[in-house]
Amino acid sequence: MISAVLAFAVVAAFLVRSGQFPTRPENAGLMAAVLVVVALGALVAYRLLRYRMVWNLRRAWHERVSSADAGRELAGPFFTLRLIPAALAEAVGLLGVVFHLLSGSPWMLAAPALAAGTLVTLFPSPDAAARFVRQITGRQWS
């Protein structure tokens, strides 16, 4: 995901700088506003989805009586909650690249850079998995 976003950004920047792609700089302000609204919308949508998913998982976990391995049972939801924001970040990054192609504004390339940074922070780690399990079950998991 990261390499695709960054590769597309490099190709777009090259096309715009070479003058081989017609741009409309007068639309940069509107495109920047749309990009910010889409990014904020994606953030709010993810936070609401995550809240609801965690709430449902907690409720379901505390209603059960088995003492199954929490790490195994919660692996699917954990990775799902990593994949969704990654896809949203990638979409915002790609939209920034498209807007760079259309407007020629170099500021639009901040979106793929921020998206790449977000994707790096979303790599699953044992610590993040342990925090997630603790958040759902209330128990320490290692």
Please count the structural domains in the chain. 1
The reply to whether 27 falls in a domain is no
Query: Is the C-alpha dihedral spanning 43, 95, 1, 121 positive or negative?
Result: negative
What's the rounded Cα separation, in Å, for the pair 95 and 122? 20
Pull the structure tokens for residue 57: 């998982």
The reply to whether 142 falls in a domain is no
Contact 92, 112 (CB under 8 A): no
Q: Other CB atoms closer than 10 Å to residue 33's CB: what's the count?
A: 10
The reply to whether 24 falls in a domain is no
pLDDT of residue 142: 58
Name the pLDDT band for 67 (thresholds 50, 70, 90).
Answer: low
pTM: 0.84
The reply to whether 23 falls in a domain is no
**What is the span of the domain harbouring residue 47?**
2-12+36-137
Q: Please, what is the Cα angle at 123 between 14 and 99, to 5 degrees?
A: 30
Name the pLDDT band for 79 (thresholds 50, 70, 90).
Answer: very high
Residue type, 37: V
The reply to whether 28 falls in a domain is no
The reply to whether 104 falls in a domain is yes
